[in-house]
Amino acid sequence: MKQKYKNLPLRSGVGIVVLNKNNEVFVAKRIDNPKNFWQMPQGGVDEGEDLLSAAYRELEEETGIRKVQFIDEIDGFFTYFLPNHLLGIIWKGKYKGQRQKWFLVRYTGNDDEINIKTKNPEFLDWKWVNLKQITELVVDFKLHVYQEVQKKVKKILVDRS
């Protein structure tokens, strides 16, 4: 990490693992990344906002998804750091990475209700994938987060079956 960015804080964030009735995971392709990388919904926490409310707000802002059933809060927090080529660019250059709390929810609506063409669109496309695939689709600097989230979601699903 470049010296001038070392003292930047981490952004407070949330992530949402959205499962459909077949336990497939919602992923979407970002508008600002021309490569074939996909991610689960995630975003920043506003000042004074609790984490679960932030997760629901981000989910709706990014995907139009409102009809969900809460399953669980994923244990722990997950941190990633931006690669050098994104430092000073993303989030107006205010942060060096993100510390996230992740939540697991089940989508109870119909696929035609999902709308990524939002007021401020972040995604080009979306799809449902097997939980095993999420680590094959993500950008490398978030891979360790997705590996841990994947492991913990798998355990939650096994424990509840």
Q: Are 85 and 64 in contact (CB under 8 A)?
A: no
Question: Which ranges in 26-127 belong to alpha helices (H)?
Answer: 51-63
Q: What pLDDT score does 53 carry?
A: 98
Amino acid identity for residue 7 in this structure: N
Q: For residue 101, what pLDDT is reported?
A: 98
Residue 84: per-residue pLDDT? 87
Return the pLDDT at 34.
67
Q: Which residues of the chain have pLDDT under 70?
A: 1-2, 34
In angstroms, the CA 129 to CA 25 distance is: 5
Q: Which domains does the chain have, with CATH numbers?
A: 3-160 (3.90.79.10)
Neighbours of 153 (CB within 10 A): 21
Cα distance between residue 36 and residue 137, in whole Å:
7
